[in-house]
Structure 1
């Protein structure tokens, strides 16, 4: 599929970086130790799948009044990041994010979770049949009256083979957004046009109403590209979402429509749309 490429100048690069920095909520200089009890972490061992993978999960339990962020956290959020470089006998990890909630604070929107969230992980071993050391650092944001970056260290041996599904993981998998087929998506198109500092994307998704106030989130599928909060509206059977995109270093970037991911968060259910066409 054809790609659309945009180049920005050095001057535009500085403006792009400034925009990325202002998109993240400013945090005070506070000692990490004061917030050690904000998040409690538990690894759920899960069970072995017939294809040799392990289906495990991480449970994050948040103190009352605190929230953390989804993979695409919105302008006021801090994106979570897992560092798997010190894991052992782990070839690949695929995360499944349950449907998040939309929060508005001080006029800014963020997308994430309160109370607790269970994040399923499909883990592929490098050497099948051998124990796997799940060793990672999770860098995340947590927010209450203040928003702070937070780190969680995880170091667990996955060595208890089991074929019985774990209820908490099953429930988390059932709480993911609907697929395009489940939500009866009829079409998904994306129009791209150059802007002064990057690119504008207008996504149109034709599907039944998902309930309440619908919020669309656009992920371009390109590392280092910042995407603004989408302006979302509905015209008849179609949700229209418009976002601005720019690269953090101000350089060239390409958008492949097949990699674009559009999530529509409705009052009744959410929908995960993978890829769009030129229309």
Structure 2
């Protein structure tokens, strides 16, 4: 469910930025603000339900999170939005998920987690399938777009790694979004030099992206991270472009191509190799 939300989020972002012509700074501010509001409402709703069904009337959950996680969330959101103005979808996905993969594999290595041969083969197979999927749409990226999307990938990997330490996914995600709002307010300074480009459709897309596919989706991701290692969390995200492409085939009747089928099988096979190692004991 989290990966479906990620895929939908990419589509909503691209539509808002390129079709509805919403500027990336407004998109980021609206996205994070609506995400914070939605998560706060969900958290209050959970507290009301808990109070009604529990004998402990003082058992109220509060937004937690951390400033470091909030900063990573903000960095990812703003660099992702700006980068996609100068990158094609395929190139942006390659840079983003490539940066995520490298960062999380390096983290696993630095923290003493040794990758098994099957895991390495699985990572290689999944990434080759990912390359095969996006390769036909690749073009030379701009330097600024490459740097910004790389920062987005590193920041998202950091946000994911931080999520493995959370105790309450809803409380932590709510706190992270709320703490990201002061950083978002700094983006208002940009409008001193660059006038905002607002539209009704773009604003609606940004609200949906923030409240549903970002806010709720990221909370689900923190729940999922409890059962995934850093390496597994990195490699399963390669499914996002596959889900996005599959959504296009279902929703707008895009043809199912042989390359899509082959790439999907490679990615799924690679992920399976990595996931199956979880319960195996190291000799």
Structure having the higher strand fraction is 1
Q: Which range, TM-score by smaller chain?
A: under 0.3
**What TM-score does the superposition give when structure 1 sets the normalisation length?**
0.26
Name the structure, 1 or 2, with higher relative contact order (CA <8 Å, separation 6+): 2
**What TM-score does the superposition give when structure 2 sets the normalisation length?**
0.25
Structure having the higher helix fraction is 2
